Amino acid sequence: MAKNRLGEETSPYLLQHKDNPVHWQAWGPETLAAAKAEDKPILLSIGYAACHWCHVMAHESFENPEIAALMNEHFVNIKVDREERPDLDAIYMSALHLMGEQGGWPLTMFLTPAGEPFWGGTYFPPEPRWGRPSFPQVLSALSTAYQGDRDTVLKNVASLREGLQRLGRPQSGEGIAPEMFDRIAERLLREVDPLNGGIGGAPKFPQSGIFELLWRAWKRTRSDPYREAVLRTLTTISQGGIYDHLGGGYARYATDTRWLVPHFEKMLYDNAELVSLLTLVWQETRNPLYETRVAETIGWVEREMTDPEGAFYSSLDADSEHVEGKFYVWSEAEIDALLGARADLFKRFYDVTADGNWEGHTILNRLAHPALADDATEAELARCRELLLAARAPRVRPGLDDKVLADWNGLMIAALAEAGLAFERADWLALARRAFAFVALRMTGPDGRLRHSWSGGAARHPASVDDYANLCRAALALYEATSEDAYIAQARDWVAALDRHYWDGAGGGYFFAADDTDDLIARVKTATDAAVPSGNGTMVGVLTRLALVTGDQRFGQRAEAILSAFSGEVARNFFPLATLINNAELLWKPVQIVLVGEPDDLAFAALRRAVHGVSLPNRVVLAVAAAAALPADHPAHGKGLVGGRAAAYVCEGPVCSLPLTDPQALVDNLASRR
């Protein structure tokens, strides 16, 4: 452990630290064995490539020879990319929460040589600051405690061990009663900022799962406050500084209540979730702003975040030239010089002033002018944005994390498939198909099981339940878009792998990590949404859809078992359970639309367009050829063409509508459903 070995890794984040004077090691059996042999505590630092405060702590402490010497003398130092090993991050972040600390990155944990935590925190400054001890003080105190007060350390270890074991034992229940959906939505609505949208105060995250829940409440109840909360939030973030008005795409969160000042990093998963939500809401509202933001965000993904072989990269950094947001902000003088006579119009709409709106600079936004102007004005503003985008291009760009992550790709593939159908964009569907093919081929190991991460030309690290869940959802979205049975077959294979290696036979639900992931001190089992939607919550929807599409009710029974395993958690705290709750509603009341006809028939295509033009969160579409048979127990079994014409049947429970052959009649039928 006498040298830094991160140069042997492929993660862009780990490679950022390969030249630190700290003797960083990657997580693995060799490193853990060395800690035991030397009886040294482990200093575990977890972060990710786009993390601003990770960069700050690296510059202040990990690049400091004196601090590095302290670390090297007293600890075995391990660096982990949280995006490569979300299983490790979940365990040690949970340990920090058990200590009563607020989570965040960088995550700084102190472990025994066996990997068990006994103390931790997040960012520590190089000298005492903001009421925090300095990092050298922390290092000295923890080293002294480990060597001289082992009993206290072991008491902490035992307490945290018991807390971590409880993470595998969530509160079970009898499922989620339908009346709970409205009660939960009513409670969440009270947390929405009525002026700016979003949940609570600063910092503000998009919280796509919660706003889908509120949109579902609007669809069920037609109560206007739900609709207004969703529209206000989507409009404000789409016109605020959290959105990149030149290049497209949303930053991870805003540091203020107005959505003006972003934390400038851009993550693939946030943008995938927002594309899905914007598409769902556009199907009802036809708001041109939402259509534009979907198109621009997908344009950014295709232009800047797509591997030559078709998969999607992870993130763009918040910093460039070691300054947060430098790539994105402007001065009035720059705008004047670039736009000339057009500058006054642009400055009025995009909040450009001599003093700026953030630390003397301007973050472009339209918070004061959220409504779209007349077509001529918007066309002129678009020309201005094109000029500024071209002028921005030569700037030093934020760092790109070009890892390909299975779960994040699954989210974006599903979003592209949904948007491709809704907006009739075959090119977006082609992007989704290409990325799916990459993941299914390149990120499957010789054992036939998924890997979590692709980087440096290799697939590495064990897959989590989130990987399988999001890719199954993507497969089902592509099946709905293409009617190709291969996507159903792939989803079934992945569910079988989940059932073999992740299912908790004693308590139900899926563990986050597989049963043969052997370098973890605990197996977490949760339905809580984190950076990405909960795998267990997503699987309720996946299994429900598979049961309906295939007729195999074992999938539906497993979906119900997941709900039973976690539904007791709803009474404790439903705020982080939006994905579970949304998919519980799908399980309770799916709306099946069976389209019968030939894919190349114009009448059949018109019915399909009608289906995907309606906002229907619980929609499950089965498109079958005229001669094809549905499962024998399907309520539309035996139904077919009407007078040789393509037909649609809308089914809820065991009851289906009369055949619908007119697209507008189908739209009216679907729009009337709650």
Looking at residue 85, the DSSP 8-state letter turns out to be -
Query: In the predicted model, is pLDDT for residue 116 greater than 70?
Result: yes
The secondary structure of 331-380, three-state, reads CHHHHHHHHHHHHHHHHHHHCCCCCCCECCEECCCCCCCCCCCCHHHHHH
The CATH number of domain 591-671, selected from 2.60.120, 1.10.3470, 3.40.30, 3.90.25:
3.40.30
Q: For residue 473, give the nearest of 500, 439, 424, 449 by alpha carbon.
A: 439
Task: Render pLDDT for 523-580 as a digit per residue (tens, 0 to 9).
Answer: 999 999 998 999 999 999 999 999 999 999 999 999 999 999 999 999 999 999 999 9
pLDDT for the residue numbered 631: 83
What are the residues facing 253 on neighbouring strands?
Answer: 263
Which amino acid is located at 616 in the chain? L
Q: Taking a C-beta distance cutoff of 8 angstroms, is the pair 80, 88 a contact?
A: yes
Prior bond of 106 cis (ω within 30°): yes
Query: In the predicted model, is pLDDT for residue 628 greater than 80?
Result: no
Q: Which pLDDT band, with edges at 50, 70 and 90, does 128 fall under?
A: very high
pLDDT for the residue numbered 436: 98
d(CA 159, CA 441): 43
Q: Mean of the per-residue pLDDT values for the chain?
A: 95
Cα 448 to chain center, whole Å?
25
Task: Render pLDDT for 173-216 as a digit per residue (tens, 0 to 9).
Answer: 999 999 999 999 999 999 999 999 999 999 999 999 999 999 99
d(CA 251, CA 264): 5
Q: Which pLDDT band, with edges at 50, 70 and 90, does 630 fall under?
A: confident
Looking at residue 192, the DSSP 8-state letter turns out to be B
pLDDT for the residue numbered 674: 80
Using DSSP's 3-state secondary structure scheme, residue 462 falls into strand
For 334, list phi and psi in degrees, rounded to 5. -65, -45
Tokens (6 digits) for 147: 């060597």
Write down the H helix ranges in 190-331: 208-221, 224-239, 268-285, 288-304
Which amino acid is located at 551 in the chain? G
Same fold flag, 6-166 and 591-671:
yes
Q: Tell me the pairing of strands 591-596 and 619-624.
A: parallel
For residues 591-610, average pLDDT:
94
Instruction: Please count the other Cβ atoms lying within 10 Å of the Cβ belonging to residue 366.
Output: 22
Query: In the predicted model, is pLDDT for residue 327 greater than 80?
Result: yes
Q: Tell me the pairing of strands 319-320 and 323-324.
A: antiparallel
d(CA 149, CA 143): 10
Q: Which pLDDT band, with edges at 50, 70 and 90, does 348 fall under?
A: very high
For residues 42-69, average pLDDT:
96
Tokens (6 digits) for 430: 């082609």
Q: Which pLDDT band, with edges at 50, 70 and 90, does 132 fall under?
A: confident
pLDDT for the residue numbered 627: 66
- DSSP states of 18-63: TTSSS--EESSHHHHHHHHHHT--EEEEEE-TT-HHHHHHIIIIIT
Instruction: Please count the other Cβ atoms lying within 10 Å of the Cβ belonging to residue 8.
Output: 11
Percentage of the chain lying above the pLDDT 70 cut: 100
Tokens (6 digits) for 330: 């402007």
- Secondary structure element (H or E) that encloses residue 470, with its range: helix 465-482
Task: Render pLDDT for 16-41 as a digit per residue (tens, 0 to 9).
Answer: 999 999 999 999 999 999 999 999 99
Using DSSP's 3-state secondary structure scheme, residue 566 falls into helix
- Secondary structure element (H or E) that encloses residue 647, with its range: strand 647-652
Q: Taking a C-beta distance cutoff of 8 angstroms, is the pair 213, 185 a contact?
A: yes
Least confident span in 28-32, 348-352, 663-667: 28-32
For residues 488-506, average pLDDT:
97
Q: Which residue has the higher pLDDT, 73 or 626?
A: 73
Task: Render pLDDT for 404-444 as a digit per residue (tens, 0 to 9).
Answer: 999 999 999 999 999 999 999 999 999 999 999 999 999 99
Q: Taking a C-beta distance cutoff of 8 angstroms, is the pair 259, 241 a contact?
A: yes
Tokens (6 digits) for 304: 């800047």
Q: Which residues contact 628 (CB under 8 A, 6 or more apart)?
A: none
Q: Taking a C-beta distance cutoff of 8 angstroms, is the pair 191, 204 a contact?
A: no
Q: How many residues does the chain have?
A: 674
Residue 5 CB-density burial (10 A; 0-12 exposed, 13-18 middle, 19+ buried): middle
CA atoms 639, 643, 649, 654: torsion sign = negative
d(CA 327, CA 259): 18
d(CA 627, CA 647): 13
Task: Using alpha carbons only, give the angle 359, 360, 365 rounded to the nearest 5 degrees.
Answer: 85
Which CATH topology does 178-320+401-588 take? Glycosyltransferase (1.50.10)
Helix, strand, coil in percent for the chain, rounding step 5? 50, 15, 35
Instruction: Please count the other Cβ atoms lying within 10 Å of the Cβ belonging to residue 404.
Output: 25
Which residue is it, tokens 């933001």?
293
Q: Tell me the pairing of strands 107-111 and 76-81.
A: unpaired
CA dihedral (200, 203, 209, 215) in degrees, to 10, reads: 40
Prior bond of 203 cis (ω within 30°): yes
What are the residues facing 400 on neighbouring strands?
Answer: 316
d(CA 397, CA 389): 13
d(CA 542, CA 243): 31
Instruction: Name the CATH superfamily for 6-166.
Output: Glutaredoxin (3.40.30.10)
Looking at residue 324, the DSSP 8-state letter turns out to be E
Using DSSP's 3-state secondary structure scheme, residue 258 falls into coil
- Secondary structure element (H or E) that encloses residue 164, with its range: helix 150-166
Q: Taking a C-beta distance cutoff of 8 angstroms, is the pair 4, 19 a contact?
A: yes
The residues spanned by each domain of the chain are 6-166, 178-320+401-588, 328-394, 591-671
Q: For residue 582, give the nearest of 282, 219, 212 by alpha carbon.
A: 212
Q: Longest C-alpha distance within the chain, in Å? A: 87
Looking at residue 409, the DSSP 8-state letter turns out to be H
Task: Render pLDDT for 446-474 as a digit per residue (tens, 0 to 9).
Answer: 999 999 999 999 999 999 999 999 999 99
